[in-house]
Amino acid sequence: MFKEIDLANPEYLWFLILIPIIILWEYLTRLKKHPNIKLSSLEGFKSEKSFLGKVRPLIFILRVFAIILIIVALSRPQIIKVSTKTKTNKGIDIVMAIDVSSSMLAQDLKPNRLAALKRVASEFIDDRLSDRIGLVVYAGESYTKTPLTNDKSIVKLALEGIKYENLIEDGTAIGMGLATSVNRLKDSKAKSKIIILLTDGVNNSGFIDPKIAIELAVEYGIKTYTIGLGSNGNARAPVGILPNGKLKYGITKVEIDENLLKEISKSTGGLYFRATNNKKLEEIYSEINKLEKTKIEEFKYYNYQEKYRNIVLISILLLFIEWVFKNTLFKSFI
């Protein structure tokens, strides 16, 4: 109960230090307030004190309590109820363009590049509470895996379902991946439109030139962050298919068209990142998450319930009772 009470003017509580002084003064001056008779012996006056004599200090106690309550009332005790209302401005529309070529199964990131990406991207999606997110996947060609949606569960389910199954032509069509992403965002009314394009290779497939895709992104005001995924040097990656249908792994050179990725990001107002390991990939998505924030306004409403009025009424009542007692029951004592 008392945890909910706040004091608007707590400085008035300093007056409570006067209470011990008042009590001490009353004690020191109590004899002077009443007439004294000096007798050689009190043998004849020995008797039990009357009831009124015993309760006479009640008058002083009532006065002290009244003073204490007045001081507390001056500090203005109140209960403050705070209600909060948040207003989210128009969010950000984000398309994540993910390379799903066979090289994404390279094991320089653990357990492989694609699995590492899916884990980090899933955490990124969880953080985008007010934004719409879509998924585009590409290899030798591209398609929309998930259109823009506020339903994060759908996006995460689609992300989890991404895997290399040779369902689309192998290769790395960066131009097509970017162009498909632009197509998903071009009609968006969001205040900010973002593409996060990730690849681990060079543009070697597709019928859309990356430069054309860049021009489209610029025309529609779509900022693009690009991520080059893969360690420096060599990595264990698929190099062929065994007779039993399983992938054959071998040591291959990591080749990423960083110049193209830098051009895409620079032309569209984004940034280029290089992820050489799992930790770096996490840091990149965390950095993008910080750079692209949806503005949320918080309004707080305060409801003040003043409690000093009741305290003042009680103190007045105590003073009134004291006055009544002084002028009736204890009139002969005072």
pLDDT tens digits for 145-180? 999 999 999 999 999 999 886 555 788 999 999 999
* 247: enclosing H helix or E strand: strand 247-253
Q: In CATH, what class is 90-294?
A: alpha beta
Numbered ranges of CATH 3.40.50.410 in the chain? 90-294
Whether the predicted model's global pTM rises above the 0.85 cut:
no
Kindly state the DSSP code that residue 207 receives in the 8-state scheme. Answer: S
Q: Which of 14-28, 268-282, 310-324 has the highest average model confidence (pLDDT)?
A: 268-282
Given a cut of 70, is residue 53 above it in pLDDT? no
Terminal Cα distance for the chain, rounded: 41
The predicted pLDDT at position 170 comes to 80
**Is residue 234 within 8 Å of residue 286, measured between CB atoms?**
no
Residue 126 confidence class, pLDDT cut points 50, 70, 90: very high
pLDDT at 7: 81
Query: Tokens 């529309």 — which residue?
Result: 93
* ∠ CA 134-137-139, rounded to 5°: 165
Q: For the chain, what is the mean pLDDT?
A: 84
- 230 vs 240 pLDDT, higher one: 230
pLDDT of residue 320: 83
Share above pLDDT 70 across residues of the chain, in percent, rounded to a whole number: 83
Least-confidence region, from 18-22, 81-85, 143-147, 203-207: 81-85
Most confident range, picked from 56-60, 75-79, 155-159:
155-159
Among 14, 25, 7, residue whose Cα is nearest residue 64: 25
Token output for 334: 């005072």
**pLDDT score of 183:** 96
The three-point CA angle 203-209-213 to 5° equals 105
pLDDT at 318 over 90: no
Q: Which amino acid is at 251?
A: I
In 16-116, the DSSP E strands lie at 77-88, 92-99
Does the pLDDT at position 218 exceed 80?
yes
Yes or no: say if 274 and 231 are a contact pair by the CB < 8 Å rule: no
* Pairing assessment for the beta strands 132-138 and 92-99 based on DSSP bridges: parallel
Are the beta carbons of 293 and 131 closer than 8 angstroms? no
Read off the pLDDT band of 51 (50, 70, 90). low
Please give the distance of CA 258 from its chain centroid, rounded to a whole number: 36
116 versus 302: the higher-pLDDT residue is 116
